[in-house]
């Protein structure tokens, strides 16, 4: 999607390695070290349903279920979660400004389904419940999906959000995002989003640890600096406290970027649109913009048609937000990612402590094929055990070794699926083949056959829901 920019809201382990690698690439900035991955948007199988006006994209039937490989290890002080995810179209590209006809245009905004230019980053996430969220081990992420949440067909529109004092004046946001029911007072589900508890009540829930801890690795917005993004879900999907690792590179008053590449350090002022769309910028190239090689935008520079600048400026995070160190590389047809954090919490108000010998509910999600928002693949909740004797499906192997990457650990294959549009309350309150499929999958979250059955039932539910509203468009008419 391409659009003219309007005013938008600002929304020791690896640092040395990341800096050395990036500085080495200064010598050959703009050159490729591997063959580019071809972009084959025209070869996508046809989606089951597509209606962007209603936030509808249901993936093709042969893409409803995928596999994420996961392993874990820990020592006396840290835990490391490792991922492997097969993809023939990895994306480390995300959100750019392109100079066209004398204006800076945005390429890569959050799409409904796949972003047409492939300019949306891959992400791999983990959610952690320490036993404070009722029935999380059964329903997982269905517990944070509610009517009105962003990117659903019934999402609350910005003007209605602006009329709500909590969202407009306290959070200063224009949408409703995932939340847990404990953050609201009792209300019918369709209006539950409105009934936010008081500031003091929410603060007490945080002190009690009644939130979902989230660890999100981002291929563009965090990986180049050697981090994953720390956050939590309570009344909203929040970032953890502290400075984030990216900000928005845009001057809304003058409709131009705030920063550009430092020619003295990287050898150019801007990327090129044609190379970007052809995916010619390799993982070792400067496909991203970081503050250590950025300078203030020069309006007097002779900008050329197709000059391109990343719309996100990366910088070192601080506080709890920067507590997740990470590495990520696409090689041999798969992402290889590791995320490491202290067992102790960096901040008990937004991150859970993890204790050796204990077991936790975790859930995984993957954004792939240039898809954002709710168009991701999720696992069912499963147990993570921090003990070599645990019977949990995912065992974090204990070792006295200080360097966790050297610790061997058992890998498991986790089926991940398109979750559709349904809430935990809908599943619980209406016994059906779908509710039975959810419970069956919760009993054995590694069973691919059970997950495939669940994925089919979720699609059937979404199709039926859409037909009640009005007939869904034939996706062939959109092509």
H-helix segments, 247-385: 263-266, 273-277
Lowest mean pLDDT among 22-31, 112-121, 215-224: 22-31
The whole-number average pLDDT for the span 263-287 is 97
Lowest mean pLDDT among 36-50, 112-126, 256-270, 375-389: 36-50
Q: Check residue 386 and report its DSSP letter.
A: -
pLDDT at position 476: 47
Select the more confidently predicted residue: 78 or 3: 78
Residue pLDDT, tens place only, 221-274: 999 999 999 999 999 999 999 999 999 999 999 999 999 999 999 999 999 999
Say how far apart CA 230 and CA 211 lie, in whole Å.
Answer: 13
Confidence of residue 37 (pLDDT cuts 50, 70, 90): very low
Confidence of residue 388 (pLDDT cuts 50, 70, 90): confident
Q: Check residue 478 and report its DSSP letter.
A: G
User: pTM above 0.85?
Assistant: yes
Residue 269 near residue 349 (C-beta atoms within 8 A): no
Say how far apart CA 311 and CA 313 lie, in whole Å.
Answer: 7
pLDDT at position 473: 54
Residue pLDDT, tens place only, 142-181: 999 999 999 999 999 999 999 999 999 999 999 999 999 9
Select the more confidently predicted residue: 31 or 45: 45
Find where tokens 């939130």 sit: 211
pLDDT at position 263: 97
Residue pLDDT, tens place only, 357-372: 999 999 999 999 999 9
Say how far apart CA 133 and CA 131 lie, in whole Å.
Answer: 6
The Cα-based distances of 262 to 26, 266, 290, 305, 318 in angstroms read 11, 6, 10, 19, 24
State yes or no: pLDDT of 3 exceeds 80.
no
Say how far apart CA 359 and CA 134 lie, in whole Å.
Answer: 16
User: Which value, to the nearest 10 degrees, does the dihedral of the CA atoms of residues 264, 270, 274, 279 take?
Assistant: 70
pLDDT at position 150: 96
Residue pLDDT, tens place only, 72-130: 999 999 999 999 999 999 999 999 999 999 999 999 988 899 999 999 999 999 999 99
Relative to beta strand 103-107, strand 2-4 is antiparallel
Select the more confidently predicted residue: 17 or 174: 174
Lowest mean pLDDT among 310-314, 382-386, 404-408, 470-474: 470-474
pLDDT at position 102: 96
CA nearest neighbour of 311 among 370, 224, 219, 249: 249
Say how far apart CA 418 and CA 298 lie, in whole Å.
Answer: 44
Residue 183 near residue 235 (C-beta atoms within 8 A): yes
């Amino acid at each position: 999607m391409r659009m003219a920019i309007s005013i938008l809201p600002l929304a020791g382990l690896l640092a040395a390695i990341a800096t050395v690698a990036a500085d080495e690439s200064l010598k050959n900035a703009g050159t490729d070290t591997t063959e580019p991955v071809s972009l084959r948007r025209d070869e996508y199988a046809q989606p089951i349903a597509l209606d962007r006006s209603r936030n509808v994209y249901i993936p093709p039937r042969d893409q409803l279920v995928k596999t994420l490989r996961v392993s874990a290890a820990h020592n006396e002080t840290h835990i490391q979660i490792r991922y492997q995810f097969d993809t023939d179209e990895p994306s480390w590209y995300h959100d750019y400004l392109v100079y066209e006809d004398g204006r800076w245009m945005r390429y890569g905004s959050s799409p409904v389904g796949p972003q047409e230019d492939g300019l949306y980053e891959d992400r791999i996430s983990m959610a952690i419940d320490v036993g404070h969220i009722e029935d999380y081990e059964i329903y997982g992420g269905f517990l944070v999906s509610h009517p009105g949440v962003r990117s659903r067909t019934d999402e609350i529109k910005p003007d209605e959000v602006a009329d709500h004092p909590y969202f407009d004046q306290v959070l200063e946001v224009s949408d409703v995002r995932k939340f847990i029911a404990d953050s609201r007072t009792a209300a019918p589900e369709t209006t539950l989003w409105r009934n936010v508890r008081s500031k003091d009540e929410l603060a007490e829930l945080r002190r009690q640890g009644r939130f979902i801890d989230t660890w999100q690795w981002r291929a563009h917005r965090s990986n180049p600096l050697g981090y994953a993004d720390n956050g939590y879900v309570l009344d909203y999907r929040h970032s953890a406290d502290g400075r984030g690792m990216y900000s928005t590179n845009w001057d809304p008053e003058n409709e131009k970027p705030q920063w550009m590449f430092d020619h003295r350090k990287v050898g150019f002022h801007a990327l090129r649109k044609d190379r970007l769309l052809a995916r010619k910028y390799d993982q070792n190239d400067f496909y991203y913009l970081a503050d250590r090689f950025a300078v203030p935008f020069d309006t007097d520079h002779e900008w050329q048609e197709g000059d391109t600048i990343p719309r996100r400026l990366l910088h070192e995070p601080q506080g709890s937000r920067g507590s997740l160190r990470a590495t990520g590389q696409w090689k041999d047809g798969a992402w290889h990612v590791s995320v490491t954090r202290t067992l102790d919490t960096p901040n008990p108000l937004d991150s859970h402590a993890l204790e050796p010998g204990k077991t936790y509910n975790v859930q995984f999600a993957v954004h792939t094929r240039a898809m954002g928002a709710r168009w991701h693949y999720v696992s069912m909740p499963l147990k993570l055990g921090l003990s070599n004797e645990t019977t949990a499906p995912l065992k974090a192997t204990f070792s006295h070794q200080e360097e966790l990457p050297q610790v061997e650990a058992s890998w498991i294959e986790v089926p991940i699926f398109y979750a559709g549009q349904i809430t935990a309350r809908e599943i619980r309150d209406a016994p059906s083949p779908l509710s039975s499929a959810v419970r069956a999958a919760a009993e054995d979250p590694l069973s691919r056959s059970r997950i495939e059955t669940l994925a089919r039932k979720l699609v059937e539910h979404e199709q039926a829901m859409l037909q009640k509203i009005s007939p869904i468009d034939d996706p062939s008419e959109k092509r």
